[in-house]
Structure 1
Amino acid sequence: MILYLHSEIYTKEKIEYTKFIYKDYAHIEIEKENDYWIVILTECKYDAALTGKAFENYLIGLENS
């Protein structure tokens, strides 16, 4: 599962924190390309699409808190 997260909306610190929280559910890599953070989730413990959506929802909650 690959997520493209705009860097004006999402901060690296919050993405890294979410990565830490989800470390038991997937192998997660973070890359920066132009204006986007690219989050790559592999070896997901559960369905990859579901894990990606849950990761993004958690991140949105962090950014809005």
Structure 2
Amino acid sequence: HALVGATIGVVVGKLLEKKLGKEKWDRDKVVIVAGLTLGNAVAIAFAASLLLISRSLWALPY
């Protein structure tokens, strides 16, 4: 299953390299990956906080 993700990553990377140019892609790919990772982390933290808040509002927590 990790092979599917790696294959998709390689294909997307090659497409972006063609679109942006090799020099710009090599310069910016680390920032793009960091931004995507940070975005995922923020979304997970937001969902977890909503879950905790919704469970704390339940009338019978036990």
- TM-score, normalised to structure 1, is 0.37
More strand by percentage: 1
Q: Which has the bigger relative contact order, CA under 8 A and spacing at least 6? A: 1
- TM-score, normalised to structure 2, is 0.38
More helix by percentage: 2
Higher Rg of the two aligned structures: 2
